[in-house]
Chains A and B, each alone.
Chain A
Amino acid sequence: KNQVEQSPQSLIILEGKNCTLQCNYTVSPFSNLRWYKQDTGRGPVSLTIMTFSENTKSNGRYTATLDADTKQSSLHITASQLSDSASYICVVSSGYSSASKIIFGSGTRLSIRP
C-alpha cells in the first residue's frame, strides 16, 4: 500500500534554533517527493521538489534530503523564524502516466516560540 508517514506530528522550538522533520514513504513506482509549507487556513506552498537522482535540494533556510534506497526524506530548517510556524507536508508522486497518484503525508505542525 502506498503510504507517506511524517514525524514528529508536532514540534515546538525556540526562535533561532534549527530543526529537522522526517518523511518515510512506501510508494512505488517513485516519481518525485515534494515538501510543502502550509500556513493555517491557507493553501500549501511548494518548498522543494526532488526526483530519484537528487539527494539534496535547498531553498533559502530550507534544505531537503532524499535517500531513495531507504525511502526517507528530511527537511532541515536553519535559524528558525516566527514565520516558519506552519504545517509542513511531505508529498510523494507515484508513476509517470495520467493514472499516477499523489500521496500526502499527514504533516508536521511546527511552532516557533520567541
Chain B
Amino acid sequence: DTEVTQTPKHLVMGMTNKKSLKCEQHMGHRAMYWYKQKAKKPPELMFVYSYEKLSINESVPSRFSPECPNSSLLNLHLHALQPEDSALYLCASSQESISYNEQFFGPGTRLTVL
C-alpha cells in the first residue's frame, strides 16, 4: 500500500465550529507532515511529526492543533478558524523526517471557512 489517504475531501465550517482533518498511511513511514496550500501557490509546511513526536511547528497559529495518535495516523484539529484559513490542506509521509526522503502526498482536504 503506497497511498496516503485523507478525510474528508471537502469541509465547510463556520468560524465558531470545531472540526478535525484526518490522514492515514500504511507504508511504515515514521514521518508525517501537514501542509497548507492556497490557490496557485506552492504548499507551505505547517507541522512535522517524527516517530509520533512533533518535531517542527512552523509558527502556526494555535487554532490549528496537530495530533499523532500512532505511527499511521495524523490529525489536524481546527477551532475558531478565520476565512483566510480556507485552503487545500495536504498530508504527506516519508520514511524518515530527513529532506532527501521522498514525501508521498495525500489528495488533500479542501477547507472553506465561512
Contacts and interface: CB of A to CB of B under 8 A. Distances in A.
Q: Do A and B come from one complex?
A: yes
Interface of A: 31-32, 34, 36, 41-46, 49, 51, 89, 93-98, 100-102, 104-107, 109
B107 to A, nearest CB: 5
A98 B100 contact: no
B41 A96 contact: no
A105 B40 CA distance: 11
A102 B41 CA distance: 15
Interface residues of B, number: 25
B66 interface: no
B97 A31 contact: no
B105 A45 contact: yes
A104 B100 CA distance: 13
Contacts of B43: 44, 104
Given A45-B105, A46-B104, A100-B98, 9 more contacts: A32-B100, A41-B88, A41-B108, A41-B110, A43-B4, A98-B97, A100-B100, A101-B99, A107-B42
Kindly list the 4 A-B residue pairs having the minimum CB-CB distance in the complex, ordered from nearest.
A43-B105, A104-B42, A100-B99, A93-B99
B106 to A, nearest CB: 5
B27 to A, nearest CB: 13
A97 B98 contact: yes
A101 B50 CA distance: 14
Contact of B102 (A34, A41, A100): A34
A42 B42 contact: no
Contacts of A42: 107-108
Contact of A31 (B45, B90, B100, B106): B100
A100 B45 CA distance: 13
B20 interface: no
Contacts of A89: 42
B69 to A, nearest CB: 21
A95 B41 contact: no
A104 to B, nearest CB: 4
